[in-house]
Structure 1
Amino acid sequence: MPRKRPGPEGGKRDLNRRENQQRLLDAALALMLAHGTAAVTIDQIVERAGMAKGSFYRYATDKEDVVEQILAPVNGEVTAALDRCEQQLRTGRREDIAAIYLVLARELSEVVARHAQRVLLYLQEARAPQRAAPPAIQQLADALTSRTIALTEIARDHGLIRAVDPEISALTVLGAIDAILFAQLRKRRAPHAAIPQVTAELVDIVLRGIKG
């Protein structure tokens, strides 16, 4: 992302810069959801945002940087939720595991509710087999997989669940959640109404299989 331009934080110039940057990201997100990240051009983004092409480079270095900025809130909030879950698993008891995973499910559901369109872009691009996902998408997908495997390993090693293959368990859970979220968000249903219940039921199904 380009270096911040002059102006005190919270001042008029700073507020204008933030508004313009958000307008650019909103325009890019709408276009990428409609056409895919690969098909969208910088010219299309600035035209939809109502700004000159030269202004684009005040807020982003290239299109990949735009995707990274769009996903930044999701990435940060998901990472924080996974960090909290990991800490709880390391110190938790066997009887606490259901509650720990349900808290994680609730927190991730809230992320989806706050950032539904950003999450949909991630799912749309991560699931597209015909082309390579943008780096920011692939990095988030890889991080989710590795962190989910690590959480399963921690729970297993602390005796909270029976011995299972962490990779199989993680990929099964992630695949189910991805499919559910994609179906819900593509239908434009309110994710905060449906996803928490579905996720809680999925957690219950998984735990029945791995608690032993």
Structure 2
Amino acid sequence: MTTLNSVRLLEQPLPRPRRDPTGYASARVLEALLEALLALRFLEEGYTRNAAGKAFQAWRALTGALLALERDRILESLRTEEERRWLEEKGIPRVPSSRLKPLARLVEEAGYKDYTHYTSTALDLHDYQYHGPDPSGDMSKYPDPEEAARDVTSILAKLTRIVEEHAKPKLEQAGKWTREHREALEILKQKLRRA
């Protein structure tokens, strides 16, 4: 896994996204990477429902990071002051699950292709975490653990690409990409190649 220091960093209070959006994004990206590693670990051990939950948490953390990194562009695109206030006070800091799809749409409109599609998959995995496999499709979209495991791997691969291609360069430019980020990303890429 990664260093104990990485885990300790996650236990620190988050920077306030209004005051330090890049610091907040940096913390959320590290959280996303570590949650993704836990998801893969659970998959390796056969705990598909737990893996689905961790994959969802990783995607949610990534969404918060991207909202913070693209905050100015997204705020300009919003029509009302009420929408802007909600985004800054609740959307970015809390990333509520109940509003994840509209938040994902904002991320996609800021230039992240297919983000809403992958967010829908993350929400399906969130349901699977609670309901498990359901061949009838009434409680879960996944008839068996293997289908869920494929989506866990798929969403984590997309998360890895987004971090590497978008978040990492922005955080490096701001001096907020750390050794912990680098190590976690490298381990995640190695594990995904073997998955």
Q: Report which of the two structures shows the higher radius of gyration computed on alpha carbons.
A: 1
User: TM-score surpassing 0.5?
Assistant: no
TM-score of the pair, normalised by structure 2? 0.29
TM-score of the pair, normalised by structure 1? 0.27
Higher relative contact order (CA 8 A, sep 6+): 2
